[in-house]
Amino acid sequence: MGTVSSRYTRSLYESCVKRGADETRLRQAIGGGPNPFGNPARRFSNEAVLDMLHLAERLTGDTAMGVYAGSDFRPTTFMDVGMALTAASCLREALAVNEQYQALTQQLGKTHLSVTGQGATITWRPYINDAERMRPSTEAAFAGYAIFGRWLTWLYDKEAAGMQFRHARPPHADLCDEVFGCEVIYSAPLDVMELDPELVDMPLPQANPDLLKSLCARLDKALAALYEPLSATQEVFHYVQSELERGAPALAGVAAALGYSERTLRRRLAREDTSFRTVVETARKDACDIFLRERKKSIAEIAQALGYSEQSAFTRAFKSWYGKPPSAYVRAP
């Protein structure tokens, strides 16, 4: 049975709450107690996520939860996959990256880009055939592609060339027409979005080949480990990276979030020949590597994003990682 990442599930959940669904009832639907998203490495079953989306529709009387959720997607929803998409050279490359690493964010379905002489299509292959059961997640996926594609191309008013869904026409069909910018066809054989073929290889303004290469190397490792139990080191690493901008988390808080006592977590890390401090520094350096390649943040902003409250502490750490201070690194050709 497939699973969905904590970050993706949380994005769906927050969209439902924003539209009036009861938080407690939604948390009960996905399980995990009062803080289901405390551990960023946690994954939720496909069935639990679908249950949550359908419950939100029943609680609010609004059938458009999937469309809202997809419209709310941001690059951070997809973790490193989202950042890799923004670094791609063209939509063809972005969609290939998405297809390759899609399982890391969600296993509700898989998309595939097909380009022929007749045009370009994105086809969604859901994990179950029940179109009505899958409707909210299918609509979320395609609304996300529509919104994300406009961000990537900077063509914010671009309409889809066509949109077809397997499920029956829903009460919110007018909203779907608005989001996709075209008349949507329902009860179709496949879930398919049609694109203008000239968009597929159009150069993207934020392309960053160096960043994309670095991210794909990280994603390859994550994909290889997806079906293996996480080590304590991996659990701590993922949690620390998700919390860095709030400041470097303390051992007590990390242990509690991951369901360990401090003593047990120390012992597990020691058995893996590492320590909490070492994992925190590794997570910081790994994030710093990405920020430097991304070339969007100043040195002061990177220090803040890595959880350093003092510039001097960041400078010392930076010199230990790269053998030179941040100012010299930035000036280097």
Residue with tokens 């290469």: 213
Together in a domain, 266 and 327: yes
H or E stretch at 123: strand 119-126
Together in a domain, 18 and 165: yes
What end-to-end distance do the CA atoms of the chain give, in Å? 49
pLDDT of residue 241: 86
Q: Which domain holds residue 96?
A: 3-200
In a domain, 100, yes or no: yes
Phi, psi (deg, nearest 5) at residue 122: -110, 115
Together in a domain, 191 and 237: no
**In this structure, what DSSP letter does residue 106 have?**
B
Spacing of C-alpha 68 from chain mean position: 16
Together in a domain, 180 and 89: yes
For residues 163 and 329, what is the distance between their CA atoms, to the nearest angstrom? 48
In a domain, 209, yes or no: no
Burial, 332: exposed, middle or buried (Cβ in 10 Å; 0-12, 13-18, 19+)?
Answer: exposed
pLDDT of residue 330: 65
Together in a domain, 116 and 240: no
pLDDT of residue 331: 54
pLDDT of residue 105: 95
H or E stretch at 163: strand 162-164
> With a cut of 50, which residues of the chain have pLDDT below it?
333
Q: Residue 277 has which token pair?
A: 């401090």
pLDDT of residue 8: 95
Together in a domain, 104 and 7: yes
Q: Nearest-5° angle of CA 136, CA 142, CA 146?
A: 140
- What pTM, to 2 d.p., does this model score? 0.86
Together in a domain, 246 and 127: no
Residue with tokens 């191309």: 153
pLDDT of residue 333: 46
For residues 91 and 132, what is the distance between their CA atoms, to the nearest angstrom? 29
